[in-house]
Amino acid sequence: MSAALTNAAPSVRPAFRPWRFIRRNPTLAAGLFILAIMVTVALLAPLIAGDPLRMQPAQRLRPPSAQYWLGTDSLGRDVFARLVYGARVSLLVGLSVATFSILIGLTIGLLAGFFRTADAIVMRIMDGLMAIPAILLAIAMVSLSRASLLVVIIAITIPEIPRVVRLVRSVVLSVREQPFVEAAIAGGAPTWKILLRHIMPSTFPPLIVQATYVCASAILIEASLSFLGAGTPPEIPTWGNMVSSSRLFLSRAPWTIFAPGLALALVVLAVNLVGDGLRDRLDPRLARRM
Amino acid sequence: MLAYVIRRLLSTLIVMAIVGIFVFLLLHLSPGDPAAIIAGDNATPEQITGIRQRLGLEDPLPVQFLRWFGHIAQGDLGVSIFSNEPVLKLVGQRLEPTISLALTTLLIAVTLAVTLGVLAAWKADTWVDRLLMVVSVLGFSVPGFVVGYLLIYVFAIELRWLPVQGYTPIAEGVVPWARNLVLPSVTLGLAYVALIARITRASMLDVLAEDYIRTAKAKGVANQSMLLKHALKNAGVPIVTVIGIGVALLFSGVVITETVFNIPGIGRLVVDAIAKRDYPIIQGVILIFSGVYVLVNLIVDLSYTLIDPRIRY
């Protein structure tokens, strides 16, 4: 089926027209635009911002000014510099968790969907994992190890896996009954080839959409963990740590809380917009309803 | 029906057993010596040995597991390392604020979300619908603690309409109790409202496309009665399902909301336990929250027959 479609398409790819793309995919374009700015800022952090760790006790809780664009926090640290460096952690966590949970979830989901014997056991384990609130599971894991970014990434990845497994499994269950899979089995293709070549590609469109939602949720959970004091070590500037260390200064220095808060909301919104936009493109039937 | 209930109960028990295994293994498969980590950086070797003995970490793993599971099955969730009190007692002392918060949130969120979802579906593809969907994406994107601090800043610090933080037991008067719960409930409910409103809209759109709705319209049934009696009733199953699944979201949110608003509930108990590395408390609360989640979803499953009499088991 896919071969026929490819042949029918014109052999010369039409030129990319940015305005047409934006007009037809406004949510996707808006999300990508915000994310592109965020990624650029995160990558160029040392060029854009000053030292996020330098404390100046004489400059505590200064409101936004020409020198400190977003003011200073209770230890006299530059909020803008910390915000810029914090973007690195949020984006890194979002990307890593999305990648790891999709890779692991895809593997488990393919096997569970295809082999009936494994299915019952694997799905009960996934049900058990899903019953544990994600933040609590992550808190338990982080509080049992020495805090580090890697532990945080692992602790957020594990509760995300069951959702991916369920999605992949449901696709596999419907695809494995399709005539082209039957034909492959009848043709004597080895099992691994059926799984990887014939079944796996069907999981990609929903998985790409799911990956964006996992990424958004991971960024939120990382910030929440840092906020609760069970996340990234406090010496690393993250948006959650920034809010956490400024909690007592809400009325005196609201910018110390709302600057990182707004940044978080913006980046998660951008990732969600990309997800919604991709879903509209990849699954038009669902798009109308959600 | 009875056979289904029994089967469903059994699978609930299996899921809870798996949750138990996870929580148990977490302590034992984490890298490093859990006793040393729980004891903290300045602990003496004697203190570490003490903790190891208290948690029974010196026995073989299967022995430890069976002993632990035996205690759990009898309702014994262990003893706090820091205060030496039984975990169940500590949780019991914190129960009222958390239940108050969860129930008011559930009530406000479900009423609001279903209303908005029905409205969005009824006015599909108009500006009302688009606005509601934009707001719902925002509800997913803004972290709970940011919403909380924003509400405190506007309504408690600037406008002084509501108390900044804290909790008043219901025994000391319903009005102070409610005043303290308004901002936390809105904070906790926002993501939940977004989730339920989206599903309600989707489910309603499906039903509104059915022939019997067109018939109802054709014979002149009033809009309100058409939406509520004909459509919403038939759109109920996915809505109730997502309310059940969303309870997990609510529990994660409780931990954050109670921290922001300084509410002495179970969530706050966990957060205090993180700082003290009081693992039995964290373990116990995970088991309780997971248990309630599984139970709620069992009830949701069984309620399908009430919502939709066509469903028979």
Between chains, do B149 and A224 touch, taking CB under 8 Å as contact? Answer: no
The model carries a pTM of: 0.88
Average pLDDT score over chain A: 85
pLDDT level of residue B62 (50, 70, 90 thresholds): confident
- Look up residue B261 and give its DSSP letter: T
Q: Which among B18, B137, B294 has the least Cβ separation from residue A276?
A: B137
Tell me the chain B residues in contact with residue A274 when contact means C-beta distances shorter than 8 Å: none
Say whether residue A34 is in contact with chain B using an 8 A CB cutoff.
no
Could you give the dihedral angle defined by the CA atoms of residues B47, B51, B52 and B55, in that order, rounded to the nearest 10 degrees? 170
User: Is it the case that residue B105 has pLDDT exceeding 60?
Assistant: yes
Q: Give start and end residues of each alpha helix (H) in B42-162.
A: 45-54, 61-73, 87-93, 95-122, 127-141, 144-151
Give per-residue pLDDT as tens, B198-247: 889 988 888 888 888 888 888 888 777 777 778 888 888 888 888 888 88
Strand-pairing partners, residue A72, are A78
Which pLDDT value is given to residue B58? 75
Q: Which of A2-16, A145-159, A248-262, B276-290 has the lowest mean pLDDT?
A: A2-16
Between chains, do A144 and B37 touch, taking CB under 8 Å as contact? Answer: yes
Segment 275-294 of chain B within 8 Å of chain A by CB? 275, 277, 279, 282-283, 285-286, 289-290, 293-294
User: Is it the case that residue B39 has pLDDT exceeding 80?
Assistant: no
Give per-residue pLDDT as tens, A7-43: 555 556 667 788 888 888 888 888 999 999 999 988 9
Q: How many CB atoms lie within 10 A of CB A95?
A: 16
* B27: closest CA of chain A, how far (Å): 7
Mean pLDDT of B151-170: 88
User: Is it the case that residue A94 has pLDDT exceeding 90?
Assistant: yes
Between chains, do A243 and B145 touch, taking CB under 8 Å as contact? Answer: yes
Mean pLDDT of A246-274: 88
pLDDT level of residue B186 (50, 70, 90 thresholds): very high
Tell me the chain A residues in contact with residue B152 when contact means C-beta distances shorter than 8 Å: 250
Nearby residues of B195 by Cβ (< 8 Å), 6 or more positions away:
B113, B140, B242, B246, B249
Residue linked to tokens 């108990």: B269
Which pLDDT value is given to residue A281? 83
Say whether residue A39 is in contact with chain B using an 8 A CB cutoff.
no
Could you please report the per-residue DSSP string of A77-134? -BHHHHHHHHHHHHHHHHHHHHHHHHHHHHHHHHHHHH-HHHHHHHHHHHHHHHHS-H
Between chains, do A135 and B256 touch, taking CB under 8 Å as contact? Answer: yes
Which pLDDT value is given to residue B31? 64
Mean pLDDT of A240-247: 86
Contact A214, A98 (CB under 8 A): yes
- What is the percent of chain A where pLDDT is above 70? 92
Rounded distance between C-alpha atoms, residue B142 and residue A69, angstroms: 23
User: Is it the case that residue A268 has pLDDT exceeding 80?
Assistant: yes
Segment 55-94 of chain A within 8 Å of chain B by CB? none
Mean pLDDT of B161-188: 89
Closest CA relative to residue A129, chosen from A95, A163, A153:
A163
pLDDT level of residue A285 (50, 70, 90 thresholds): low
Between chains, do A228 and B150 touch, taking CB under 8 Å as contact? Answer: no
- Look up residue A63 and give its DSSP letter: P
Rounded distance between C-alpha atoms, residue B166 and residue B116, angstroms: 30
User: Is it the case that residue A2 has pLDDT exceeding 60?
Assistant: no
Mean pLDDT of B273-285: 85
Contact B194, B137 (CB under 8 A): yes
Tell me the chain B residues in contact with residue A129 when contact means C-beta distances shorter than 8 Å: 18, 22
Which pLDDT value is given to residue A4? 47
| Helices and strands in chain A, H and E counts | 14, 0
pLDDT level of residue B313 (50, 70, 90 thresholds): low
User: Is it the case that residue A289 has pLDDT exceeding 60?
Assistant: no
Between chains, do A268 and B34 touch, taking CB under 8 Å as contact? Answer: no
Which pLDDT value is given to residue A126? 92
Give per-residue pLDDT as tens, A132-189: 888 888 888 888 777 788 989 999 999 999 999 999 998 898 888 889 988 998 888 8
pLDDT level of residue A212 (50, 70, 90 thresholds): very high
Between chains, do A133 and B294 touch, taking CB under 8 Å as contact? Answer: no
User: Is it the case that residue A3 has pLDDT exceeding 50?
Assistant: no
Q: Which among A141, A144, A265 has the least Cβ separation from residue B142?
A: A265
Say whether residue A158 is in contact with chain B using an 8 A CB cutoff.
no
Mean pLDDT of B170-180: 88
User: Is it the case that residue A288 has pLDDT exceeding 70?
Assistant: no
Q: How many CB atoms lie within 10 A of CB A39?
A: 15
Between chains, do A140 and B23 touch, taking CB under 8 Å as contact? Answer: yes
For an interface test with B, the pick among A127, A136, A268 (most B C-beta atoms closer than 10 Å) comes out as A136
Say whether residue A216 is in contact with chain B using an 8 A CB cutoff.
yes
Q: Which of B59-63, B85-89, B137-141 has the lowest mean pLDDT?
A: B59-63
Which pLDDT value is given to residue A10? 52
Which pLDDT value is given to residue A74? 74
